[in-house]
Amino acid sequence: MPVIRLSRLSHAYRPGVFALRDVELTVEQGERVALLGESGAGKSTLLRCLNGLVTPTTGTVTVLGQPVNLLGEDERRLLRRRIGMVFQEFNLIERMTVLQNVLVGRLGYVSAWKSCLRLFPSADVQLAQSCIEQVGLNGYAHTKVRNLSGGQKQRVGIARALAQQAEIILGDEPIANLDIRTSQEIMRLLRDINRRTGATIVLSLHDVDAARHFCTRIVGLRAGEVVFDGAVERCDEKVIQRIFY
Ligand SMILES: Nc1ncnc2c1ncn2[C@@H]1O[C@H](COP(=O)(O)OP(=O)(O)O)[C@@H](O)[C@H]1O
Ligand SMILES: [Mg+2]
């Protein structure tokens, strides 16, 4: 069973103006997919459809076997727990520590009143510590996020997804705010996590080299339509032209 299936997906934020048009996409477990396209192509909209933040105008979204737009509040929350998100702007709580931010990944698992009191089970704290080590931030658990570099912040974002034990990791331009070397480190980290845990990874990117180097498959979006879908090996210059020009 595929982990993601989009069928005839279209979305218009305003009537008649389509951000996505007739998108068909099936992703199998363990793939590393790059959504490639210029600004405005519809990459973020597609990612938001996957976690239910956007309800598409038409079409169906099935994630981990669940019809995202037909779920009730509770079911949707349970599904979101299985989907980790990393962001261009990191979406961390700057005044809190690395450990506290990573523990946010456990919030879906802790009852509301306990999380208000920040009473995380010690197993959660241990898991968070191990995720912090897995992303190479040993020794930073008690550092406030605002004192970290961009690359380190993105590592915290990834550790949060790991702590969530997410089966799918979605990234919306996760390297757009980073320099080239740091971008490569972050892409390598995501690739290693994918290989080790089998988590499916879907990233929106506009960096062709990063997509080709670190992903297994490229989905090219242009003006809301899929103009290429195939293995990275097939993504030659002609394809890049089709996606970007
Ligand atoms: N919240 C919104 N309201 C209205 N239009 C939007 C909104 N978000 C995105 N759009 C439009 O939808 C299209 C696709 O945007 P987006 O999915 O953000 O593309 P990308 O992530 O590839 O840059 C663009 O034309 C954009 O202006
Ligand atoms: Mg975007």
pLDDT, tens digit (0-9, with 9 covering 90-100), for 12-27? 999 999 999 999 999 9
95 with 68, same domain: the answer is no
Q: Is the CB of residue 51 less than 8 Å from the CB of residue 80?
A: yes
Per-residue pLDDT at 36 exceeds 70: yes
- Whether 214 is covered by a domain: the verdict is yes
CA of 122 to the centre of ligand 2 (A): 37
Domain annotation covers residue 184: no
Q: Is the CB of 56 under 6 A from ligand 1?
A: no
If you average pLDDT over residues 142-160, what whole number do you get?
A: 97
Same structural domain, 76 and 91: no
Residues 150, 222, single domain; the answer is no
Ligand nearest to the CA of 49: 1
Give residue 241's domain range. 1-82+168-174+200-245
The pLDDT score that the predictor gives to residue 120 is 81
Residues 202 and 26 sit within 8 Å (Cβ to Cβ): no
Ligand (nearest to CA of 46): 1
Ligand 1 mutation target, pool 9, 38, 44, 244, most atoms within 8 A of CB: 44
Do the domain assignments include residue 160? yes
**CB distance 220 to ligand 1 below 6 Å:** no
Ligand 2 centroid to residue 223 C-alpha, Å: 12
* Mean pLDDT of all residues in 190-197: 97
Residue 142 Cα to ligand 2 middle (Å): 32
DSSP-assigned states of every residue in 50-98? HTTSS--SEEEEEETTEEGGG--HHHHHHHHHTEEEEETT----TTSBH
- CATH number of the domain that residue 90 is part of: 3.40.50.300
| Residue 94 sits in the same domain as residue 155 | yes
Q: Is the CB of 47 under 6 A from ligand 1?
A: no
Are 60 and 93 contained in the same domain? Answer: no
Taken in order 175, 12, 92, 167, the sign of the CA dihedral is: negative
Which residue of 9, 10, 11, 13 sits with most ligand 1 atoms within 8 Å of its CB, as the best mutation to test the pocket?
13
Say whether pLDDT at 153 is over 90: yes
- Residues 89, 152, single domain; the answer is yes
Cα(37) to centroid of ligand 1, in Å? 12
The reply to whether 77 and 134 lie within a common domain is: no
Is the pLDDT confidence value at 166 over 70? yes
Choose the final residue of a domain: 166, 186, 209. 166
pLDDT, one tens digit per residue, over 75-100 is 999 999 999 999 999 999 999 999 99
Ligand nearest to the CA of 18: 1
For the CA atoms of 107, 108, 113, 117, the dihedral, rounded to the nearest 10 degrees, stands at -10
Lowest mean pLDDT among 61-65, 116-120, 169-173: 116-120
For residue 21 and ligand 1, the question of a CB distance below 6 A is answered with no
Does residue 92 sit in the same domain as residue 60? no
Residues 25 and 91 in one domain: no
Residue 188 belongs to some domain of the structure: no
pLDDT at 115 over 80: no
Closest ligand 1 atom number to CA of residue 224: 14
Residues 32 and 74 in one domain: yes
| Amino acid code (one letter) for 152 | Q
- pTM of the entire predicted model: 0.94
Q: Which ligand is nearest to the CA of 21?
A: 1
Whether 19 and 58 map to the same domain: the answer is yes
Q: What is the mean pLDDT of residues 229-243?
A: 96
Confidence of residue 110 (pLDDT cuts 50, 70, 90): low
Please say which residue of 166, 188, 215 terminates a domain.
166
Give yes or no for residue 114 having a pLDDT over 80.
no
Asked if residue 185 belongs to a domain, the reply is no
How would residue 107 be classed by pLDDT, with cut points 50, 70 and 90? Answer: confident
Q: Is 49 in the pocket of ligand 1 (CB under 6 A)?
A: no
Number of domains the chain is built from: 2
The 3-state DSSP class for residue 94 equals: coil
Is residue 8 domain-resident? yes
Last residue of a domain, one of 166, 187, 221: 166
Q: Assess if residue 192 is contained within a domain.
A: no
Residue 181 in domain? no
